[in-house]
Amino acid sequence: MAHVRTNRITSRLLRLAWLPLCVFLAACHVDMYDQPRYEPNEVSTFFDDGRAVQPPVPNTVAIGRYEENSALYSGVVGGELATDLPIELNAELLERGQKLFNAYCAPCHGMTGDGNGVIAYRGPIAVPSLHNDRLRTVALGYYFDVITNGVGRMYPYGSRIEAPDRWAVIAYVRALQLSQNAPADALSADDRTRLGSGE
């Protein structure tokens, strides 16, 4: 009988011990959650300009945002739209550009860039052909700007396609344009023969 009474007393003491512990933990949470600190844009007397959050030091660059080659990341050279690719043109770049073009651009512009993609068939959207005279002769930086920021109903892809990949798409677009508008005298004799024979 004494054993049962001891267990009851121990049980009551443990329950009573939990109460101050819970109050203590709750108080800690409030103190930590509501600790004294400045909120964004709050006034402060600590700095001379009266702002709690100070502007970054001049020429500060966020981690991972250093853009040494401005043409690569802006599409602009000397205040003008870039006319040359800021990266090396090779087969790997064109293959990468083709994959990205087929994924992001072909639904509207079509697999050959003629403007007859699936979206053009399903909706009342007029998608321009990439083979018209204006788009064949426009500076490459124009394409970079359009891919980055969008134009008209075209969605901006700057947050979805990295800058070097945008240039890969542009290189592939130029290859598509050349495939439809290359002058015959620019082809080798073998290529002209194959074209003439329908191969």
> Between residues 78 and 16, which one has the greater pLDDT?
78
Domain boundaries, the chain: 70-197
> Between residues 181 and 9, which one has the greater pLDDT?
181
81 DSSP 8-state letter: E
Q: Is this model's pTM higher than 0.75 or not? A: no
Sequence-ordered list of residues with C-beta below 8 angstroms from that of 140, at least 6 positions apart, any chain: 75, 81, 82, 83, 84, 85, 170, 174
CATH of domain 70-197: 1.10.760.10
pLDDT tens digits, residue range 37-78?
787 778 888 888 888 888 888 877 777 666 666 899 999 998
Residue 56 near residue 62 (C-beta atoms within 8 A): no
> Between residues 114 and 8, which one has the greater pLDDT?
114
